[in-house]
């Protein structure tokens, strides 16, 4: 099962644009239950605003500006 936010997550667009590595998708978004460990997922679940360039491991990717 993939992350519940999979289809609407900004990560999909960044992948298509080649701005983030697809290893994030393999490691988190589509990996059985590991999406629960994603910082984006956890903040989303709590309704806490977070920037689009926040990566699943909690680091900010400054090279992504939007
Ligand atoms: S980056 Fe996080 S919130 Fe977005 S789809 Fe992947 S696991 Fe879900």
| Residue extents of the structural domains in the chain | 1-66
Nearest atom in ligand 1 to 34's CA: 7
Is 6's pLDDT higher than 80? yes
Q: Which residues line ligand 1 (CB under 6 A)?
A: 3, 5-6, 9, 11, 28-29, 35, 38, 40-41, 44, 56
For the residues 38-49, what does the mean pLDDT come to? Answer: 98
pLDDT in tens, 8-37: 999 999 999 999 999 999 999 999 999 999
- Predicted TM-score (pTM) of this structure: 0.94
Nearest atom in ligand 1 to 39's CA: 2
For the residues 34-54, what does the mean pLDDT come to? Answer: 97
Average pLDDT along the chain? 96
Letter string b/e over residues 19-40, b meaning 16 or more CB atoms within 10 A of that residue's CB: ebeeebbebbbeeeeebeebeb
């Amino acid at each position: 099962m993939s992350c519940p936010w999979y289809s609407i997550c900004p990560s999909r667009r960044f992948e298509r644009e080649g701005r983030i590595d697809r290893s994030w998708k393999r490691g988190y978004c589509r990996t059985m239950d590991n999406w629960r460990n994603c910082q984006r997922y956890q903040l989303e679940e709590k309704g806490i605003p977070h920037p689009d360039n926040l990566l699943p491991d909690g680091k900010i990717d400054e090279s992504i500006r939007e």
